[in-house]
């Protein structure tokens, strides 16, 4: 049983056909079929059969699919750890939502990295619905985002920070003079939003669905800060984390839109593999992120340049 065979089989399982797996791996269909055939012969199991509705997997095939993903993830992780160890360093691969990456990650990571001088941090932004899969395949070491609706037995999740989302506008915006606006008036506004609004989970998409804001009234910017800056110009309504706009509200450069409909409560949770399966750096982060000093660092939002981290933090807001 080789990594190449397991990778071919895992692709067949994930994509549902040998043809799609071959295209994904950049090889011929015959090569994928050969690898699957070798696994069938070695394991003495058909693994799957073709039906009119697609592939039907045997119990053994399903067991192999799970184990293949685990083994391939472990292989990738081992390569990274060996390379880091050769340089005398550890690597923490952290996946977060765009909201956390922009508002809280800089302060947290700078403070955490200052405490662990042998540690490199690699930050990436993903949809929260993909977090458990990323963990279980060992594509990342820890995830930070909203609490998952269901938690796999092999994943440990800890709540560490609640936050509030507010609707904000320029001080002279009409919504500041109308009392508590109704749903119809809110739906007629131009909404200036960050990348979080493009997701399908989290407090901001939930608020937009609750109000019923039509897509044609939404303008999504490449960062949440850019959306808030546009709101300061009086062109629309933005949704922002309360601690990030506290100074603007106090200074009067922004005003809060009144009403419960335009307020939301969210939470940030850290997830790692359970049962001592997580790398030491992930376990350290899971402990550290719940401390008062970590909370202060996140709320303070200390300025961090990407060059501070080696390897540099790679953030893709539209992944």
59/49 Cα distance (integer angstroms):
12
Query: Is the fold of 3-79 the same as that of 162-266?
Result: no
Query: What is the pTM (predicted TM-score) of this model?
Result: 0.66
Helix 18-25 crosses helix 29-43 at what angle (to 10 degrees)?
Answer: 110
**Of residues 295, 305, 246, 242, the one with CA closest to residue 270:** 295
Please give the share of the chain, as a percent, with pLDDT higher than 70: 88
Please determine, for residue 126, whether its predicted confidence score (pLDDT) is greater than 60. Answer: yes
Please determine, for residue 318, whether its predicted confidence score (pLDDT) is greater than 50. Answer: no
187/185 Cα distance (integer angstroms):
5
Q: Identify the band that residue 83 occupies on the pLDDT scale cut at 50, 70 and 90.
A: low
Q: Identify the band that residue 159 occupies on the pLDDT scale cut at 50, 70 and 90.
A: very high
Tracing tokens 């609490």 back to the chain, one arrives at 147
Report pLDDT digits (tens) over 181-198.
888 999 999 999 888 888
Structural class in CATH, domain 81-156+280-308: alpha beta
Q: What is the mean pLDDT of the chain?
A: 82
What pLDDT does 119 receive? 79
Q: Are strands 90-96 and 119-125 parallel, antiparallel or unpaired?
A: parallel
294/52 Cα distance (integer angstroms):
54
Please determine, for residue 69, whether its predicted confidence score (pLDDT) is greater than 60. Answer: yes
Report pLDDT digits (tens) over 20-55.
888 888 889 899 899 989 988 898 988 887 766 567
Tokens of 149: 């609706």
In the chain, what are the domain boundaries? 3-79, 81-156+280-308, 162-266
**β-pair partners for 143:** 95, 271
**Of residues 60, 35, 34, 33, the one with CA closest to residue 46:** 60
**β-pair partners for 161:** 268
Least confident of 205-214, 233-242, 274-283: 274-283
217: Cα within 13 Å, side-chain hemisphere = 17
Q: What is the mean pLDDT of residues 91-113?
A: 88
Least confident of 111-115, 148-152, 186-190: 148-152
Least confident of 63-72, 83-92, 200-209: 83-92
243/163 Cα distance (integer angstroms):
8
Q: What is the mean pLDDT of residues 244-254?
A: 92
What pLDDT does 61 receive? 80
Tokens of 259: 């009403």
According to CATH, the topology of domain 3-79 is Arc Repressor Mutant, subunit A (1.10.10)
Work out the burial of residue 43: count CB atoms within 10 Å of its CB; fewer than 13 is exposed, 13-18 middle, 19 or more buried.
middle
**β-pair partners for 271:** 143, 157
According to CATH, the topology of domain 162-266 is D-Maltodextrin-Binding Protein; domain 2 (3.40.190)
């Amino acid at each position: 049983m080789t990594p190449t065979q397991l990778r071919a089989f895992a692709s067949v399982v994930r994509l549902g056909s040998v043809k799609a797996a071959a295209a994904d791996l950049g090889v011929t269909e015959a090569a994928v079929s050969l690898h699957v055939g070798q696994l069938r012969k070695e394991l003495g199991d058909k693994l799957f059969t073709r039906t009119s509705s697609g592939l039907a997997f045997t119990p053994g095939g399903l067991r192999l699919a799970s184990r293949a993903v685990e083994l391939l993830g472990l292989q990738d992780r081992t390569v990274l750890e060996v390379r880091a160890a050769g340089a005398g360093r550890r690597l923490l691969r952290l996946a977060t939502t765009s909201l956390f990456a922009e508002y809280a990650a800089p302060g947290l990571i700078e403070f955490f990295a200052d405490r662990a001088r042998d540690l490199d941090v690699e930050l990436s932004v993903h949809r929260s619905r993909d977090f458990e899969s990323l963990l279980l395949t060992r594509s990342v070491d820890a995830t930070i985002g909203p609490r998952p609706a269901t938690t796999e037995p092999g994943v440990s999740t800890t709540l560490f920070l609640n936050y509030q989302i507010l609707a904000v506008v320029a001080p002279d915006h009409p919504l500041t003079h109308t009392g508590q606006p109704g749903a119809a008036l809110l739906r007629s506004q131009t909404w200036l939003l960050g990348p979080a609004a493009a997701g399908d989970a989290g407090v901001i998409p939930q608020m937009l669905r609750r109000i019923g804001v039509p897509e044609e009234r939404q303008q999504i910017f490449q960062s949440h800060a850019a959306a808030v800056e546009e709101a300061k110009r009086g062109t629309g309504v933005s949704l922002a984390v309360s601690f990030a706009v506290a100074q603007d509200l106090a200074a009067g450069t922004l005003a809060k839109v009144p009403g419960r409909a335009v307020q939301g409560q969210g939470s940030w949770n850290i997830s790692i593999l359970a049962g001592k399966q997580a790398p030491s750096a992930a376990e350290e982060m899971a402990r550290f992120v719940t401390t008062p000093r970590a909370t202060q660092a996140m709320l303070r939002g200390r300025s961090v340049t990407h060059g501070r981290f080696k390897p540099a933090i790679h953030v893709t807001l539209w992944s």
